[in-house]
C-alpha cells in the first residue's frame, strides 16, 4: 500500500510534534532545575552559617571543659592539703 502525499505530510507533522514535545519537556526540566537551584541557595547559606556556629560552639565547649578540669584539679589539691 503506497502512502499518499497527505499521509507523508501527516507523518512528518507528527514527527515534528513529537520533537517539539521533547524540547518543551527539556525546557520544563531546565526551569525546574534553576528553580531548585534558586531555592537551594538560602538553604546552603544557612547550612554554612550553622557549620560556623557549630565550630564556634565546639571550641567554646572545649574551653569550658579545660576550665572545669583546672577547677577540679585545684579542688583536688585543696582537699589533699586539708587532709594532710
User: pTM to 2 decimals?
Assistant: 0.50
- Which residues are CB-contacts of 11 (< 8 A; sequence separation ≥ 6)? 3
For residue 77, name the pLDDT band (cuts at 50, 70, 90): very high
Q: What is the pLDDT of residues 7-26, one digit of tens each?
A: 888 888 999 999 998 888 88
Buried b (16+ CB within 10 A) or exposed e, 27-63: eeeeeeeeeeeeeeeeeeeeeeeeeeeeeeeeeeeee
Amino acid at each position: 500500500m503506497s502512502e499518499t502525499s497527505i499521509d507523508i505530510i501527516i507523518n512528518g507533522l507528527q514527527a515534528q510534534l513529537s520533537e517539539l514535545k521533547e524540547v518543551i519537556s527539556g525546557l520544563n526540566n531546565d526551569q525546574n532545575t534553576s528553580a531548585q537551584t534558586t531555592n537551594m541557595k538560602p538553604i546552603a547559606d544557612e547550612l554554612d552559617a550553622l557549620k560556623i556556629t557549630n565550630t564556634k560552639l565546639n571550641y567554646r565547649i572545649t574551653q569550658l571543659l579545660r576550665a572545669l578540669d583546672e577547677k577540679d584539679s585545684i579542688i583536688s589539691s585543696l582537699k589533699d592539703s586539708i587532709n594532710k
